[in-house]
Amino acid sequence: MACTSENGKSLKEADSVIEEYPDSAMSILMSIDRHSLNNRDLPYYALLYTQAQVKTYISLDSDSLISIAFAKYGENTRGDLGIRSNFYTGEVFFNQKKYHEAMRYYLKAYEESKRLNNDYWHAKAAERMTDLFFHFYHYDEAEKFAKEAADYFNKSNRVVNHRYLLALLSIIYLNNNKVDLSYSILDSLYNLSVNEDRVDSTFVEYIEQPLLESAVKLNKREFVDINPNEFFREDMSEGDKIDAVMFLNSISGSDNNQKIKVLLNEISPLATDNDDHTHILYAKYENAKALNDLALAISYVDSLLDYQVLMTEKIIKESITGVQRDFYSDLSIQQKKKSSFLTYIIIVSVATFI
């Protein structure tokens, strides 16, 4: 009994700090003997441990843990715990790149948070919807959910989250050819951030690249002094190398085009997913045009078309908008059934008293 009571206290303590101090929450959770938990505390522990893993950037390779929490809280209305169990089930699938599965659980978390007027989790779910639509190039939908997420982070007084969502919204604008809007937001965020007493260097680094790109597109500044050899470092991770070269290609002038060609060839073997592969192919096409190598540019167009044909079936199967449509269709059917059942109960009740 004493052991169970202590476990309960530890779980509550971990929950109280998990959003702001996930490392501390993880330390508390790791001190708990999972085998000593009863049937009431184990699902709570499973939810918190998954949440702490996500918050501390630990890879989620299995859904075995979150499934314990989902079985307890996910299907039925369990308030905050129900929202979180759906949200973090979505996180597991998102981490595994099973995006259509992730969408279903994010939608459940999104609708439940709206129903319960939970502004913070409403924002979190909308943020993930933004990520999914952006990932699949649905920029109009991504823009809608980004605005919603930013609004509800603001309502829940989450200043840092709110800033990141405004930055993400500006990146969506940049990709959706709304460059003026993108630059305006990013420039404001940058000036605000660098002039604060405690500069958030991580956030500044996050917005510097899209700010530079939007400025270049609007001819706001000159970038003739950018040196590819300094911009591209050997100690970068593979993903950062791809991002750096792709960005450098987007802003580089004629003096750097030959160097960009070499860098693009270097990063080609680093592509680990379909998006990277497609983006690198397109960057090579743009670079070939810049070098006036039309024969090479045409070969990249052919490669892109061949790759597009191969990917069409997969893209259709993983259509995010299709999952969203099916979710709301099912929800509508459930609500109609519930409404019909309530009407039946009312009619029977009235008939009984006549």
Q: Tens digit of pLDDT per residue, the chain (354 long)? A: 445 578 889 999 999 999 889 999 999 999 999 888 998 899 999 999 999 999 998 888 788 899 999 999 987 666 899 999 999 999 999 988 888 899 999 999 999 999 999 999 999 999 999 999 998 888 999 999 999 999 999 999 999 999 999 999 999 999 898 999 999 999 999 999 988 888 888 898 888 888 887 887 787 755 444 555 555 556 666 666 666 666 666 665 556 778 778 878 887 887 777 667 777 888 888 888 888 888 888 888 877 777 666 555 555 555 666 677 777 776 666 665 555 555 545 554 545 555
Burial of residue 195 (number of CB atoms within 10 Å: 0-12, 13-18, 19+): exposed
pTM as predicted: 0.72
Q: Are 251 and 286 in contact (CB under 8 A)?
A: no
Q: How far apart are CA 103 and CA 76, in angstroms?
A: 19
Please state, in angstroms and rounded to a whole number, the distance separating the CA atoms of residues 27 and 52: 10
Indicate the SS3 state at residue 290: helix
Distance separating alpha carbons of residues 54 and 22, to the nearest angstrom = 9
Alpha-carbon torsion 68, 112, 94, 309, what sign? Answer: positive
Evaluate whether 4 touches 38 at the Cβ level (below 8 Å): yes
pLDDT of residue 238: 63
User: What integer pLDDT is reported at residue 260 of this predicted model?
Assistant: 78
What number of CA atoms fall less than 13 Å from residue 197's CA on the CB side? 0
Q: Output the pLDDT for position 258.
A: 80
Q: What is the C-alpha to C-alpha distance for residues 81 and 165, in angstroms, rounded to an integer? A: 24
Contact 121, 109 (CB under 8 A): yes
**What is the model's pLDDT at position 223?**
44
Tell how far CA 141 is from the center of its chain: 14
Which residues neighbour 74 within 8 Å (Cβ) at sequence distance 6 or greater?
82, 85, 86, 89, 108
**Residue that has been written with the tokens 């810049």 in this structure:** 290
Both structure tokens of 215: 């400025």
Query: Which amino acid would we find at residue 240?
Result: D
